[in-house]
Structures are given as C-alpha cells and as structure tokens.
Structure 1
Amino acid sequence: MSRAARERRAELASFLRARREHITLEDVGLPGGGRRRTPGLRREEVAQLAGVGVTWYTWLEQSRDINVSAPVLDAIARALRLDQRERAHLFTLSATVDLEAEARRCSALAPGYQLFLDQLDPFPAVALSWRYDILAFNTAYRFLHGDLEEIPPEERNFLWLFFTHPDYVDFVEDRDGGARLAVARLRTHVASHLGDPLGQELVSRLLAASPFFAEIWSQHDVARNDPGYKVFPSSVGRLRMLPHRLLHAEGDGWTMVYTPANEQTALQLPRLLSREPQAASA
C-alpha cells in the first residue's frame, strides 16, 4: 500500500471512530446497555447495524489494507446516520465510487438551470453529464440539427445520437475530428468513473452499434487537439461557432454554449428560434 493510501486509510479510520462516538443507542433504535466508559456505539454494534463482520469492521477502523465495496460503504453510512456531505467524505477516503450519489447527481439539474439556458437564446446551449447524457437544452440547440424534442428522452445521449442516429451523424462538418475529440474525452471521464455501470454500459452499447466508435475507442486516445471552433451544417445554414465549456456539478458534467464566430452566423442564429411552433391563439 502506498504512502498516500496509508494516509487515506488512517484518515478513514479516524473519521469512522469520530462518527461512531457521536451516535447513541437511542439514535439507532438499540436497547440501552447501561453505563459506558466511552461515548457512542461500539464497533460490534456498528457491524451489527451495517450487516458486516465485526472482525472486518474492526480492521477497517485499524487502517488495515482490506477490500471495501460500495454496497458495504452504503450500509456503514446508513448505520452511522451520515448526511450527504459525510457520506461523500466516506467514499472519497475509501477511494470508492458512490453509485447512489452518481445516479442522484445525474438525475436532474439544479432548479432554475433551464431558465439560465433559455436566457442564452439565440446562442445554442446544452447541459451534458460526463457520459454525454443530454440533461437540458435551449430552443436554439433544440433546432440546431432537426428537432431534439422528437428524440425520446431515454435516447438523448449525444454520443449515442452522433454515432448511431441517421439524423445526427453529420451534426458537425468535421465528423472525424469531432468524433475523435468526443471519444478521447469520454475515455478520460471513464477512467475517473471506473465503478459506474452506466458508463460501462454506454461504451458497450456504442461498441456493438458503431464500428466507427469501436475503431476510435480501440486507439486509446485520451487527448485530441481542439480546433477551437465548430462548423454546424444546421437547419438554417452553415454556422461557424465558438464553443464555451462551463462546468457544473450535476453528473460531473458541463454546459456547452456556442457563440457566432462571424457576422453571417450571427445573422442566421435568430432563425433557429423562429422554428419553434407558436402556441395557438385563444
């Protein structure tokens, strides 16, 4: 075990002991055990509540080099009544991916985020998770290529559309360069989320469905040169755009905002908004 790993395990052991000492038998619904020399729960009581072996939990608090899985950490977090920040700290110290937190973070954007995207019209804007799930978008992005609202929500993953959907294979003019950049970024993100089954499932689906994706994935690129602009053969003509990448917490993702790179594109962008069906007058 490396020095950094030993230090992390020692901090984990101290954290567990501190949390254990702040929990009473009454907090967890266990019968009182009379006077105690030390506050809080005993190790065997935490092990009982979490459904793990007493010896294993003792080793965990002794900084032993033992295997720790996400389900077991989840059980310990519940036994110790950890809040979300404490739970995140527990998983960080254990160097383990919290799948429950990942799913929760990817499920929705913060309240008001859609309003933020809408205010960016006529500049196309889309919020993505690290897996390129399309979490939200504004009107300009909706009509950048076809009508994104016509795609079922469960299929709204940018990579899935780009590599498999006939209406999105020519989403950008430089398809080869755009594909290689996106896949290189995906591989980098996958390395940071190795325990995420949804990411693994996405890669497996793409490998099975797209020989083009499989070819690029097999090259193991993790960095590609970004030309700094994108050309979209859009529904309102050829658009030359400058991409701006804004990070957000939801799904370890980012928001892409595209601004015009020339005057012609600036004049064309408002036409994307005119494609939205108008509500019928009363």
Structure 2
Amino acid sequence: MADPRRVEFGDFLRSRREKLSPKAVGLPPGARRRTAGLRREEVAQLAGIGVDWYIRLEQGRTVSPSVTTVDALARALRLSKTEHAHLKALARDGARGAFTREIVPPPILRLVESLPHPAYITGRRWDVLAWNAAAEEVFAFGRLPEEDRNTLLLMMTNKRTRRSYGAGWADVAKRMVAMFRATHDVWAGDPAFAELLTRLRQGSPEFVKWWGAHEVHGTLSGRKTMTHPTKGVLHFEHTSFQANDDPALKLVIYTPVEGGG
C-alpha cells in the first residue's frame, strides 16, 4: 500500500506542474498540449533528474528524494518559500505515531482564561481545546458538541459562522483551507485527519473544489470582520503563537480594532 504522505507529495508536484506555463520557465510553447502546464519530462529536465525518477515521485511510489532533489524540484517548479517548505516536510522519512487529541497544560489554560480579549487554543488538527469568556461571547464554542469544535469545520460547514463573515466568507475560508492543507498532508492517512476530511467533503462543496487545487499557505496574522447576532459588526486583528511546552498547541488572540481598515 502506498504511503499516504508520498501520495500527497506526488499530488502536490502534479498540481504545481499543471499550474506552470512553459513561458514562465523559459521554454517554447511547442506543439499543442493535451493538458495544462508543463509536461513531466520538462520538469525532470529543469530539475536535472531522470524522467522515470520524476514519474515515480509524482505517482507517489515509495521513493525517498534527497534534500538536493527536493530543492531542485522547488527551483524547477518555481515554488514559493511556503510551498518549498511543504515539499520538504512531505519528503521526510521517519515513523509517526497516530494522532491523539492534545491536552492543554494548566498554566496555559489559566493564561488563556485571564486574557481580556477573545482567545483560544487549538491543536494540530485545528480542534478548539480551550477558550476564554470573551471568545465564548463571540464564537460560542461551549454551545457546540466537542466533535464540532474545530475551526476549519466551523468555517466550512457551520451556517452561523458563514453568515457572520458575510461577503468576505469565501476569501477567509479559501485561505484557511490552504493553511490546513500544509498540516493535513504531513498527517495524511491518519484516521483522525481522514475522519475530519470526510466531514469537510460531505458538508461543503466549496471545500471539495478548493482542496482539489492543493494550494498551501503559511499561518498569517491579519484582520477579520464579523457580524455578531447581538453585538453587531466586529472588527478584529488576529495573531497566533506556538506554546513552548507543546509546539502542537497554538494560542490565537483576537484584538478588537476600530473600523475595517
């Protein structure tokens, strides 16, 4: 059985290859192409590797590309820093245990509860593990079953969350999908991540479309505007921090700001 992470590695290569035009890499257009983007042999040529070897990589066969090969592929495919880092992560060997839901240490829990602005803790799968009173007022995590307390699941399948973002929902949701993709691929095949992926696919046609594009983005701070049923329009600046105790834990803080800016 193919390694799910290797499959994602190959799928990511294919998705980047199909997005890249010959002109973008200095190649002549050539004869009429049956598919979009570069041909496999063109990528292999640009990366300085054998065509058969590249085909094996893209097909997700059990092969272990060296750091030099991964770097060469990143240059050939004109990958961004985030995309290059993602390809490196997928190429790494090494056993990985099954995912288990994280536990928030008491000191971090007390810190979150003491913050005046909306704040919550998420784990590797983006499950919401802890939150403060201010976050409860805005997001109402406590009203949800534990299995539904997941930031991507809420964004993609929860009607209340979608309404709160209004016309800006698609932009925020699409970026979140690309951010989650970078996490998911490293855990590809894990039952907990597979279960979440199934729920997202069943609950959101937009997710299915965006997921198929295999875009990846890093975590970014920014601004969000939401409409609350009783508080009205809310403008926040959000940012996140990793915990030294457990890098899998992420503290997300929403600071109120004036206007949409």
- TM-score, normalised relative to structure 1: 0.54
Tell me if 1:157 matches 2:150: yes
Q: CA deviation at 1:207?
A: 0.7
Tell me if 1:245 matches 2:240: yes
Q: Give, in whole Å, the separation in 2 of the partners of 1:259 and 1:154.
A: 27
- For residue 212 of structure 2, the aligned residue among 212, 215, 218 is 218
Tell me if 1:177 matches 2:160: no
- For residue 257 of structure 1, the aligned residue among 220, 239, 253 is 253
- Checking the alignment, whether the CA contact within 8 Å between 1:108 and 1:250 is kept in structure 2 is no
Amino acid paired to 1:128 = T
Amino acid paired to 2:251 = T
Alignment correspondent of 1:117: 112
Alignment correspondent of 1:142: 136
Alignment correspondent of 1:132: 126
Q: Give, in whole Å, the separation in 2 of the partners of 1:196 and 1:243.
A: 30
Alignment correspondent of 1:60: none
Tell me if 1:166 matches 2:159: yes
Two-structure CA RMSD over aligned residues (Å): 2.9
Unaligned residue ranges in structure 1 (runs of 5+): 1-64, 66-92, 266-282
Q: Give, in whole Å, the separation in 2 of the partners of 1:113 and 1:221.
A: 32
Q: Give, in whole Å, the separation in 2 of the partners of 1:135 and 1:226.
A: 20
SS of the residue 1:97 aligns to: coil
Q: CA deviation at 1:250?
A: 4.6
Structure 1 segments, 4+ long, off by >6 Å, are: none
Q: CA deviation at 1:259?
A: 1.0
- Checking the alignment, whether the CA contact within 8 Å between 2:177 and 2:210 is kept in structure 1 is yes
Q: CA deviation at 1:108?
A: 1.3
Aligned pair in 2 of structure 1 residues 202, 144: CA closer, same or farther (>3 Å)? same
Aligned pair in 2 of structure 1 residues 227, 107: CA closer, same or farther (>3 Å)? closer
**Aligned residue pairs: how many?**
169
Tell me if 1:232 matches 2:231: no
Aligned pair in 2 of structure 1 residues 230, 222: CA closer, same or farther (>3 Å)? same
SS of the residue 1:109 aligns to: coil
Amino acid paired to 1:149 = G
Instruction: Give the 5 Å matches for 1:1-282.
Output: 95-99=94-98, 102-103=99-100, 106-121=101-116, 123-145=117-139, 147-173=140-166, 174-223=168-217, 228-234=222-228, 235-248=230-243, 250=246, 252-262=248-258
Unaligned residue ranges in structure 2 (runs of 5+): 1-61, 63-91
- Checking the alignment, whether the CA contact within 8 Å between 1:232 and 1:240 is kept in structure 2 is yes
- Checking the alignment, whether the CA contact within 8 Å between 2:221 and 2:240 is kept in structure 1 is no
SS of the residue 2:112 aligns to: helix
Q: Give, in whole Å, the separation in 2 of the partners of 1:203 and 1:185.
A: 14
